[in-house]
Structure 1
Amino acid sequence: MLPSRFFRAFGLALALTPAALTQSVAFTFDDGPRLQATPRLNPAQRNAALLAALKQHQVQAALFVTLGNGADQPEGLALARAWGEAGHLIGNHTVTHPDLDAATTTLAGYEGEIQTCDRVIRTLPGYRPWFRFTFLREGNTPEKRDGIRAFLKAQGYRNAYVSLDTSDWRLDEALRTRLASQPDADLGPFRSAYLAHLRQRAEAYRDLSRRLFGRDIPQVMLLHHNLINALFLGDALQQFKTLGWTFVSPEAAFQDFVYSLSPQRPAPGQSLLLSAARSLGYRPEGWERLVDDGDADIAALVKRGALPAAP
């Protein structure tokens, strides 16, 4: 655990830190529902596979809807509705997934995307006034950062922070590229890489929470509504069970006071825990693996021959 001077610098009181808890994790999925075609499974099959895995393991998750990926069309909206009807929660992830750090993205335009998405998803069962920043970036200027925070507060929206960030999207890209060139490719190496990646990230962020707060926090994990999760989510859930982790709903996880923090120096595109560490001037051991966007996992797939070496 970090010295108390770090907590004073971050505005935290050690008295607010309860005794160590059993490690738990909440599952959240961004960018869905996708109507994009993929090998092996069509959009409805991918959606059904994700929901089936969650049901089998009795997990209540959250889907953060990117409206332009499909929910702006009747067939895509039906896929999103299926999440709410299955007892899962629905949050906001804009319309077109713009980057608030980009110079071309204005605060007004970004706010408009949130409002447009909200008008659609608030009609769905399971809707919550939760917003997940695209790319986990809160603005490249103080005006954008402070402006969007004020906007969300005025609209009654929660910042749906991520503590356990993953690069599942990178492995998904690699898998789809492989299947596009070889439809009958062996999925085994990708399954192994995916599970190893989730375990590495989970253990690293658990260690970071202990160093920052002296305890296990309910982790909020970021995954995506994509092919690799549709294929292997059930295996991932079983892996967490085997590791002794328990599942909690995102709503329960967000009740932990850690998710009410606003780091003074939020790290763009990274988890709340890394932002907190950077605000404290702390660089955790193994930091490189948390910010490499899955480079090490892709390298392992290349070494196994599952992917061609980069030219």
Structure 2
Amino acid sequence: MLVAFRCGIRSAAMAALWAFAGVGAAHAQSVAFTFDDGPRLEETPLMSPQQRNQAMLDALAAHKVSAALFVTCDFGATKPAGYALAKAWGDAGHALGNHTMTHPDLAAKTVTLAQYQQEILDCDRITSTLPGYQKWFRFTYLREGNTPEKRDGMRAFLKQHGYRNGYVSLDTSDWRLDEKLNEVLRANPKADIAPIKQAYLAHVKQRAIAYRDLSRKLEGRDIPQVLLQHHNLLNALWLKDVIQQFVDMGWTIVTPAQAFADPVYQLQPDRPAPGQSLLLSIARTRGMGKFEGWERIVDDGDFEIEQLEKAGVK
């Protein structure tokens, strides 16, 4: 196993040094907001691409949250209209990272390591011109390859090019609820979407508590969680409510840079095919196996969708 996973001694020692350095405020139940797959130019019900983008920025500004947008360049940033939306994030003080050109899956047998790396380099030529640019890369689908060769090749590539792995610890399936939201509104533009909002807020809260509890089991402490959401209609409508829910829960909101400075985000799980939430990957590396609540953090939102359909939201 990698040195980082030899017992928990090194991790605990680094955590102690972190707290001693006077920056422990980012530990106690804190969260950083990050978004993938933006900016998106596709049409959705209720809002134009520009309105969706601005609504998300307004929600962040209302709570004085500094976030990060991981740009999938071909989703919009290759066009002037989409580039302007991405630039608006940088102009507002948010960080911008790399999420490939076309969102391929490195775990797919048809996607080679060389192809995937070229996707990052091509996207970098665009993101590097934006305000707020950071050398942060987030794996698409949170999958770091389907073989040790791809895993090691990407780790060497990111180190060579000065990229940080933009890990996620608090994974959500907001994309699944966004699909349901769009489906419902396309069928009936006047549909009551309040149940979807409530399901979304409950989903985020359940995942937040589950990953907080998992960090305590693995690291013996509260880590600054890195939350994954997406640039979509769901968050254009209800991001402000999600942020308020964390505030009401007593969580502190930190910047992605503050969260990534925690030693836990330096770990590299020694698995043949690492991925998903960093915490879940660490748990599997340490042989934790299935634990109470495991099924609710790997179900891709199945629970919420089933509950909505039982309530007649179809």
What range is the shorter-chain TM-score in? over 0.9
Greater Cα offset, 140-149 or 218-227: 140-149
Partner residue of 1:91 out of 94, 97, 102: 97
**In the aligned structure 2, how far is the partner of 1:135 from the partner of 1:173?**
16
**In the aligned structure 1, how far is the partner of 2:76 from the partner of 2:220?**
42
Alpha-carbon RMSD: 1.5
Q: Which letter maps to 2:127?
A: I
> What is the CA-CA distance between 1:269 and the residue it aligns to?
4.6
Q: Report the equivalent of 1:255.
A: 261
Contact 1:17–1:214 under 8 Å retained in 2: no
1:41-90: CA deviation from partner (whole Å, max 9, x where unpaired): 11000000000000000000000000010000000000000000000000
Alignment of 1:28 with 2:34, yes or no, is yes
Q: Report the equivalent of 2:12.
A: 14
**In the aligned structure 2, how far is the partner of 1:266 from the partner of 1:240?**
35
Q: Report the equivalent of 2:308.
A: 301
**In the aligned structure 1, how far is the partner of 2:280 from the partner of 2:306?**
24
- Structure 1 segment 252-291 matched on structure 2, within 5 A: 252-265=258-271, 268-283=274-289, 284-291=291-298
Greater Cα offset, 279-288 or 151-160: 279-288
1:97-145: CA deviation from partner (whole Å, max 9, x where unpaired): 0000101101111111000000001011100000000000111111111
> What is the CA-CA distance between 1:248 and the residue it aligns to?
0.4
**In the aligned structure 1, how far is the partner of 2:11 from the partner of 2:225?**
20
Quickly say closer, same or farther: Cα 1:13–1:246, change in 2 above 3 A: closer
> What is the CA-CA distance between 1:10 and the residue it aligns to?
6.3
The aligned length equals 302
Q: Report the secondary structure of 1:150's partner residue.
A: helix
Contact 1:44–1:79 under 8 Å retained in 2: yes
> What is the CA-CA distance between 1:214 and the residue it aligns to?
0.8
Alignment of 1:38 with 2:36, yes or no, is no
Quickly say closer, same or farther: Cα 1:197–1:13, change in 2 above 3 A: closer
Quickly say closer, same or farther: Cα 1:132–1:7, change in 2 above 3 A: closer
Gaps (5+ residues) in structure 1? 1-5
Contact 1:67–1:117 under 8 Å retained in 2: yes
Q: Report the equivalent of 1:3.
A: none
Partner residue of 1:211 out of 217, 224, 231: 217
The percent of aligned pairs where both chains have the same amino acid is 64
Contact 1:89–1:126 under 8 Å retained in 2: yes
Partner residue of 1:241 out of 247, 251, 266: 247
Q: Report the secondary structure of 1:38's partner residue.
A: coil
Q: Which letter maps to 1:159?
A: N
Quickly say closer, same or farther: Cα 1:297–1:36, change in 2 above 3 A: same
> What is the CA-CA distance between 1:239 and the residue it aligns to?
0.5
1:225-256: CA deviation from partner (whole Å, max 9, x where unpaired): 00001000000011000000011000010000
**In the aligned structure 1, how far is the partner of 2:159 from the partner of 2:189?**
47
Quickly say closer, same or farther: Cα 1:159–1:11, change in 2 above 3 A: farther
Q: Which letter maps to 2:12?
A: L
Contact 1:47–1:79 under 8 Å retained in 2: yes
Q: Report the secondary structure of 1:90's partner residue.
A: strand
**In the aligned structure 2, how far is the partner of 1:139 from the partner of 1:10?**
26
- Structure 1 segment 174-213 matched on structure 2, within 5 A: 174-213=180-219
